[in-house]
Structure 1
Amino acid sequence: MEQHQPLITWYVLFAITQATALALVLIDNNTLADRLSAAGLLCLNGLWFVFYGRKLVQREDGNWQGLVYAAGSLATFAPAVWFSGNATFALFGLVPQIYMVLPVTWAFYPMALFVFTPQLLTWFAGAVPALSWPAALIIIGFSQAFGWAVSRIAQQNQQRGELLQRIEALTLEAERARWAAEIHDTLAQGFTSIITLLQGAQPNVELALQTARENLREARALVASNAPSPLDGSSLEDALRRLVSGAALPSSFRVIGDAAGLPTSVEVVLLRTVQEALNNVARHSGASRVDVVLRFDEDCVSLEVRDDGRGFGDAPEGFGLRGMRARLEQVGGTLSLSSDEGASVLVEVPL
């Protein structure tokens, strides 16, 4: 419906020009038979557009069918002009129709034929054309320029529409990637911790329950598009301390420097980094302990997660590390990895 809405203006123009041409024909000084013949042919011309030409206009992909429409329209327009010169007024609606059903390079020839038809018929009848030949040439030039301009505008609108569709597709793709990363960093990691804890001794059951409750809050926060639930109502240091204390192996957390107020986006990135790093340690490192250090300097905040496991080795970066880098880039941060006596994940975000 919206695609054809702009055509209504053109339909109104065509109806007005056709009705005006009919009125001029009926008040002509010709015989009644000539006037009725011209009026009937103009009515046929209008019906030809309604039942055939309108479909071509709505399709907006001019091809050989446009030539068929132009021929049929000329077949009713030319004899109408023969019976009454006032039927020439219908050109104001017919010429735009030609450009709407044919490519602009094709439309020139039938358009010129339409404009010259009243001139030729008047000349054949031995009368003086109401429109001079130079004026007809000017009309043809103006019509072609107008048709070219309309064609360019239509192409630009189409390109703009394709660009908007591409932007929408990329936005949806980025949103899917963000949700995938969020779920990977929260629910998947939490459930992995639960499995690891339940596989251990009975005292770990209570810690498993605590982790499960934390992940339930994460799920609700994600659905509600809120900040990560560990940050709700608490500072970054407190949220990190709780997160580290719930690790599946012995761990420690300390803060160096004076804590500075950070944007929520930076706090979320740091929290997600620790979640991902702790998850990697539990699943891949074979470490016996992990230490987390949050450091505040004058120009940046850094966060290091270090374990005493086997290190990164030559294994390629997985989805989790790629997700870390992607989130850090959004806040201007960097990620550094090292395997000196274990594994170290260091992130730095400028203040």
Structure 2
Amino acid sequence: MSFSVTIEPSGRQFTMQRDQTVLGAAIDAGVGLPYGCKDGACGSCKCKLIEGRVIHGAHQTKALSPEEEAAGWVLTCCATPQTDLVLESRQVVSEGNFPIVKMPTRVTSLTRVAPDVIVMRLQLPATHSFGFRAGQYIEFILKDGSRRSYSMANAPHTLSDGIELHLRHMPGGKFTDHVFGEMKEKEILRVEGPYGSFFLREDSDKPIVLLASGTGFAPIKAIIEHMEHQGITRPTVLYWGCRSKADLYLNDWVEQAVARLPWLRYVPVLSEAKPEDLWSGRTGFVHQAVLDDLPSLAGHEVYACGAPVMVQVAQREFTAQAGLPTECFYADAFTSEADKHSA
């Protein structure tokens, strides 16, 4: 049995089977619904159900509470239809998404840029055509079939140099223990992508707030590179929150970008500055630094990436306290395997 799905206000439509998730069918149809983890853990794919009925599979209450479900919200990554559906998602993008491809890649370099962060570069096979939007991510397919997601940290126009990824070590992590331990250059890894709805909306002229925590800086870096390449000069400020100075692992790169791009400002924020950091800059929570500087976000767009708790708090407080329209908050929560299985 098949059902039709209409996304408002864009009017985009697609047809899906009863046993598919709404998000999976949308991805297959090239309709860019917002999403992050695809596992019912982060809440990035939450949409309003205008008409129809769905059944939700397993998900976490922090991603969709019973009260939100009762109020008509759905998680498209784990919702299957029972009728034709009409959903509201003001973040749906136009047609022309890049096709998702599966391909082998070769590790060309592993560079330790912080005690627990490695910059990995991957060489793409000459036989594959791969396109993506700055800010999207790929998934590693491990030998046991499990997957790990990482945002591409370079813009599409630099693909001749391969794909750049920023990996934080998660002690005990099946993949990052290998990356930080035994992995060598020339190792072959299987990847699939591009995935994600986190990329710059170029049809807007609103000033931009880029908000990153930790390695959430990776897709933000790609967006900055893309803006420079495309000649996009919208006023932009980057807030990068880390624990200590050492965690600002590409601080020099950002400062060089600011020096040559008059439209870009940079505000690093440390939450646990150490005495040896000799830090005279901003401290505290990075989202609070934004609110302190920009008490009204009504005319802005925000692109937030990093720890789920940072993304969730920023979205809640930016919309409630600073007047940011809900549809102007774009996010990619870096949901770890531990996050996916926590309460």
Structure-2-length-normalised TM-score? 0.20
Higher helix share: 1
Q: Indicate the structure whose relative CO is greater, using CA pairs within 8 Å and at least 6 residues apart.
A: 2
Higher strand share: 2
